Amino acid sequence: MYFTTDSAAKPGLPFYKTVLCLLCVLILVVNGISLARNLQSLRSANELQAQGARVGDKVQYLNVLIMDAESSLQGHFLSGAESYLGPLRTARAEINTQFAELQKLLADSPSQLKNLAQLRTLIYRKLSSMDQTLTVYRSGGLDDVVRIAETAESQSVMDEIRLQVVIIAREQTELMTARSAAFYKQYQSAVVLGIGINLAAILVIALFYRLIRSSFFSRLVAQRALQHANDTLESMVVLRTEQLAVLSRHLISVSEEEKAKLARELHDEMGANLTAISIDINAVTERLRPDHAPLAAMLERARATLVDTVQLKRRIVENLRPSLLDNLGLAAALHSYCDEFGKVTGIDCEALIDGDVDAAGPMHAIAVFRIVQEALNNVAKYARARHVIVHLAREGDDLALEVIDDGIGIELDAAREPKSHGLLGMRERALLLGGSLKIKRGINGIGTCVEALIPLVQQGAAQDAVSVTISAPHPPAGDHIPSLQPCSTRPHTPQDLDGQLR
């Protein structure tokens, strides 16, 4: 018997554990959102930094384009070769492209857009001045160009362009610095929030661990208590089983003793009384026969009833304690019982005795006889057998018994039923003398074989139960295996009474 904490309906988590689980999930979600926002902020900062770098590069590139255009124009003036005018001719289209891209990059900064517009105006003024200078060179010559170059306006435009480029780059740098500071502040806040979330998560995990640990140890204590209870119950069951086994064997022993005592009393006292009654009836009958024939006939009928009573007494005595077992020994009793069993049931029953089995003591002899008696009763009731062999042999200090039939065999689980009283009785008789009994299929799986091994030197009636394989020879009828009217050994009538009755 075992107790267990398992149940068919599994309960859910306690409320506080559910709250802790939900809190853990919420903390993880908040931590994930914070991490996503931090990643987005970092991406935005990287984009701003890349944007600032591109703005600086493009502004410097505009300055380079103007300077290249001016240098190419001067080279044309000095050499007169048209090939020097390539940078000037491509500068306008390239400058327009760069201004369009800068317009997109600086769209979120009004001050930078204003600076960009001023730079555009200066660059276009410079380009227009270079176009006019080229036109003057082609119409007037180099001297006119030199006079134009010596004017202060031409030099001031380039200075303003350089200054405007510096202003745009500086403001872009300041803007990047301001945005970096804002990002750093936001990053600090995110770090503080992340540390707080992690601390909260650690706290919740610690609480959850404490609850799990407490639950684990509580369950461990409960399991140990259950195990202790199970062990206690098992020991009680084992002890109770041993006590019942000892009691069963004691009752068997007491029953045999009572049967022997009752058989002796019936044979001695009742037999003597019946003999005396028979003698008196015979004497009275002989006196009344000449003159009172009707009375003599009545006494003859009474004597016949007395004969039936004597036969009944014989059967009762033989059923209680076979007289051959005490007078001629175990071998003769088994031969006689098997012959009588064959006559009553019509089953060919053969007894094979090997060795000096009559050396067995009274307890061993009656135990073997009762086991054979119960086995043959089961054969008669359930086996549908035609032949049965009872083989008893002396093997050293043991008696080896086999009862083999050629019937329908046995279901292996039938004998393990606790209500197979006949089989349990055979087993207990064998265990009472320190022996063993097992029941199995016969040769080639045909019929049933009952095997018993009983030591002639008794090892103690209350010894530990021997491991025995029990199988019912035939399916039990109802709750137990009922017995036939026992086939008694051949009756032996006392000579004095028998002579009188004849």
**Is residue 203 located within the same domain as residue 340?**
no
Residue 259 resides in a domain: no
Question: What would the mean pLDDT of 293-299 be, rounded to a whole number?
Answer: 86
- Nearest-angstrom CA–CA distance, 175 and 169: 10
Give CA separation, 248 vs 245, 455, 471, in Å.
5, 19, 19
Domain with residue 419: its CATH number is: 3.30.565.10
- Nearest-angstrom CA–CA distance, 126 and 70: 9
Domain with residue 158: its CATH number is: 1.20.120.1730
Residue 10 resides in a domain: no
- Whether 236 shows a pLDDT value over 70: the answer reads yes
**Is residue 341 located within the same domain as residue 478?**
yes
Of 217, 234, 249, the residue at which a domain comes to its end is 217
Question: What would the mean pLDDT of 156-175 be, rounded to a whole number?
Answer: 82
**Is residue 194 located within the same domain as residue 60?**
yes
At 449-480, the pLDDT tens digits run: 999 999 987 544 334 433 333 333 333 333 33
- Whether 144 shows a pLDDT value over 80: the answer reads no
At 21-40, the pLDDT tens digits run: 777 778 778 877 877 877 77
Closest CA to 378 of 468, 470, 482: 482
- Nearest-angstrom CA–CA distance, 230 and 455: 36
Bigger pLDDT: 299 or 140? Answer: 299
Residue 368 · residue 454 · CB < 8 Å: yes
Residue 351 · residue 390 · CB < 8 Å: yes
Bigger pLDDT: 62 or 45? Answer: 62
- Please give the pLDDT value at position 14: 67
Question: What would the mean pLDDT of 3-14 be, rounded to a whole number?
Answer: 52
Helix (H, G, I), strand (E, B) or coil at 459: coil
**Is residue 213 located within the same domain as residue 345?**
no
The confidence band for 372, taking pLDDT boundaries of 50, 70 and 90, is very high
Of 217, 242, 262, the residue at which a domain comes to its end is 217
Burial of 187 (0-12, 13-18, 19+ CB in 10 A): middle
Closest CA to 169 of 70, 61, 45, 95: 61
Average pLDDT, the chain: 78
The confidence band for 354, taking pLDDT boundaries of 50, 70 and 90, is very high
Helix (H, G, I), strand (E, B) or coil at 478: coil
Question: What would the mean pLDDT of 446-450 be, rounded to a whole number?
Answer: 90
- Whether 227 shows a pLDDT value over 80: the answer reads yes
Closest CA to 31 of 201, 165, 152: 201
Residue 345 · residue 380 · CB < 8 Å: yes
- Whether 142 shows a pLDDT value over 70: the answer reads no
- Nearest-angstrom CA–CA distance, 226 and 270: 62
In 140-151, which residue ranges form alpha helices assigned H by DSSP?
Answer: 142-149
Domain, as residue range, for 151? 15-217
**Is residue 333 located within the same domain as residue 482?**
yes
**Is residue 198 located within the same domain as residue 334?**
no
Percent of the chain scored above 90 by pLDDT? Answer: 13
The confidence band for 2, taking pLDDT boundaries of 50, 70 and 90, is very low
Residue 122 · residue 34 · CB < 8 Å: no
- Whether 289 shows a pLDDT value over 70: the answer reads yes
Residue 170 resides in a domain: yes
Residue 368 · residue 451 · CB < 8 Å: no
At 375-430, the pLDDT tens digits run: 999 899 888 899 999 999 998 889 999 999 998 887 766 666 666 677 888 888 88
Of 156, 187, 217, the residue at which a domain comes to its end is 217
Instruction: Return the half-sphere exposure (C-beta side, CA atoms, 13 A cut-off) of residue 329.
Output: 9
- Nearest-angstrom CA–CA distance, 373 and 378: 9
Bigger pLDDT: 109 or 6? Answer: 109
Number of domains within the chain: 2
- Whether 492 shows a pLDDT value over 70: the answer reads no
Residue 498 resides in a domain: no
Residue 280 resides in a domain: no
- Please give the pLDDT value at position 18: 75
**Is residue 38 located within the same domain as residue 185?**
yes
Closest CA to 111 of 66, 65, 62, 170: 170
- Whether 495 shows a pLDDT value over 60: the answer reads no
Tokens read off for 282: 């015979």
- Please give the pLDDT value at position 401: 94
Task: Note if the pTM is more than 0.85.
Answer: no
Residue 266 per-residue DSSP state = I
Question: What would the mean pLDDT of 315-329 be, rounded to a whole number?
Answer: 80
- Please give the pLDDT value at position 471: 33
- Please give the pLDDT value at position 418: 60
Residue 42 resides in a domain: yes
Q: For 51-63, give one letter per residue: b (16+ CB within 10 A) or e.
A: bbeebbebbeebb
Bigger pLDDT: 72 or 471? Answer: 72
